[in-house]
Amino acid sequence: MIAVTDKTLCSGCGACAQICPRQCIIMKADSEGFLYPQADSGLCIECGRCEKVCHELHPYPQSSPLQVFAAINPDRQDHSSSGGVFSLLAERIIERGGVVFGARFDENWQVVIDWTDKQEGIQAFRGAKYVQASTGDSFSKAEQFLGSGREVLFSGTHCQIAALRHYLGKNYPKLLTVDCVCHGVPSPLVWDRYLDETVPSGRKSIEAIEFRNKESGWLNYSFRLKSKKGRSIDEIYTANPYMQAFLQNLSLRPSCHECRAKEGRSCADITLGDFWGVDEKRLPGVSHGTSLLLVNTPKGLQAIDFEHLLFDQARLEEAIPFNSGLKISQPVHPHRERFFAQLSHTTSLTALIRKELKPPFKQRFRLFKYRLKLLFYKLSPKARSIKR
């Protein structure tokens, strides 16, 4: 029977709950808002299947990609986070009568893994969603589609793809798995609190949410929340408190700090991310976003429609400096524990985030001295003579 005693050893993938033949495992949120398995010992028959499919207990070995590319889909949709390669992969699968799984918002604007076999359904999966997605029954659904002979594209985080592989227990020729370069997943509870605080008119008034709107540029993207009534939000990511909590590791799941599915351990056929730092002269349209495309298996290479991509071969060493999430887990923020301890009774999430992300006094004092020194230099006769 599965039992979580160390929260860094559970990614909340839900494989154990989906595989249980007696359905005696439920995924229940803890005080931080993250899902963990809870087993009913009275119903458990000690079959051991829940432990067998746990990718944390049985991590896959490290592997390296076969090929690396910088890539852009010229026909990408505006809501693609980077180069639009996912859209092209998904469209081809559906054209052949297959099914695509991805992350979408539900009716409460939380994030879930769902499926579609319609071209118009892909739109809901486009764009980054910086909240941990609930997998629900997606692994068992994918197994059903594969069992009926349909092609399946399953996209998710490293841990979700590793979990799917363990759940299925065998290789399906018609399964294509795609994971994303993952920084870590923030708490759904923090996201809930953020929405409640910033959209007092209620979630039914929300029309759209984009974690990475690119109207101000791929590199200076914005967080955008459009509301039918009341306040809408359009902030550069560096000014948005929710995004800052995420990017500075204040709100991440404990297992994200010790991820056992990075470095190719997810066994995904393809890994997608942003090719941060790519040379602007390398591909036309790079300023609107370029995909980092890691082809990890022969199946993944065969799935890429290169005729409809702009691409350039690259080296993994070029991408790693700007995509550390490929290899290493994010460090724990020093105030993480204190942040979650205050979360349940704070009156303002935004104020709490800003307080906990505020640099310590010594660091602020050093910055103040540096700025003061810089100001004195600019006002000095030497600096004025250089300007003349």
Whole-angstrom Cα distance, residue 94 to residue 35? 31
- Mean pLDDT calculated for residue range 358-379: 65
Contacts (Cβ under 8 Å, ≥6 apart) of 195: 109, 203, 206
* The two structure tokens encoding residue 183: 């920084």
- The whole-number pLDDT of residue 218 equals 75
* The two structure tokens encoding residue 12: 């909340």
7-52: CATH number:
3.30.70.20
Which phi-psi region, left, alpha or beta, contains residue 202 (left: φ > 0; alpha: ψ -120 to 50)? left
Ranges 38-42, 77-81, 322-326, 371-375: which has the least confidence: 77-81
In the 8-state DSSP scheme, what is residue 330?
P
pLDDT at 324 over 90: no
Between 196 and 373, residue with greater pLDDT:
196
- Mean pLDDT calculated for residue range 321-344: 94
- CA angle 43–2–113, rounded 5-degree value: 95
Ranges 40-49, 78-87, 159-168, 266-275: which has the least confidence: 78-87
- The whole-number pLDDT of residue 44 equals 96
Task: Please give the order of strands across the beta sheet that includes 111-116.
Answer: 111-116, 99-105, 152-156, 175-180, 270-274, 291-295, 67-72, 310-314
Contacts (Cβ under 8 Å, ≥6 apart) of 346: 352
Whole-angstrom Cα distance, residue 208 to residue 142? 28
pLDDT confidence of 340, banded at 50, 70, 90? very high
- Mean pLDDT calculated for residue range 26-30: 98
- Mean pLDDT calculated for residue range 314-325: 89
pLDDT confidence of 83, banded at 50, 70, 90? confident
- The whole-number pLDDT of residue 289 equals 80
In the 8-state DSSP scheme, what is residue 148?
T
pLDDT digits (tens, 9 = 90+) for 168-219: 999 999 999 999 999 999 999 999 999 999 999 999 999 999 999 988 777 7
pLDDT digits (tens, 9 = 90+) for 48-74: 999 999 999 999 999 999 999 999 998
pLDDT digits (tens, 9 = 90+) for 123-136: 999 999 999 999 99
pLDDT confidence of 386, banded at 50, 70, 90? very low
pLDDT at 35 over 90: yes
Between 75 and 319, residue with greater pLDDT:
319
Estimate to the nearest angstrom the gap between the alpha carbon of 356 and the chain centroid. Answer: 23
Using only C-alpha atoms, the chain has a radius of gyration, in whole angstroms, of 22
- The whole-number pLDDT of residue 363 equals 62
Between 281 and 157, residue with greater pLDDT:
157
Residue 189 CB neighbours (<10 A): 20
- The whole-number pLDDT of residue 78 equals 47
Report the relative pairing of strands 222-227 and 206-213 from DSSP bridges. Answer: antiparallel
Distance (Å) of CA 2 to CA 14, 49, 170, 253: 11, 9, 22, 19
Whole-angstrom Cα distance, residue 168 to residue 145? 12
pTM value?
0.90
Mean pLDDT of the chain: 91
Q: Which of 206, 315, 171, 184 is nearest to 252 (CA)?
A: 184
Whole-angstrom Cα distance, residue 131 to residue 211? 10
pLDDT at 387 over 60: no
pLDDT at 109 over 70: yes
- DSSP H/E element including 46: none
- Mean pLDDT calculated for residue range 28-47: 97
Q: What are phi and psi of 368, to 5 degrees?
A: -60, -45
Distance (Å) of CA 24 to CA 5, 15, 18, 129: 18, 13, 10, 30
Q: Is 223 exposed, middle or buried, given 0-12, 13-18 or 19+ CB atoms closer than 10 A? A: buried
Whole-angstrom Cα distance, residue 388 to residue 386? 5
Give buried/exposed letters for 100-135 (b at 16+ CB in 10 A, else e).
Answer: bbbbbbeeebbbbbbbbeeeebbeebbbbbbbbbbb
- CA angle 205–206–208, rounded 5-degree value: 150
Give buried/exposed letters for 310-325 (b at 16+ CB in 10 A, else e).
Answer: bbeebeeebbeebbeb
Domain boundaries, the chain: 7-52, 67-326
pLDDT digits (tens, 9 = 90+) for 276-314: 877 665 676 555 688 999 999 999 999 999 999 999 999
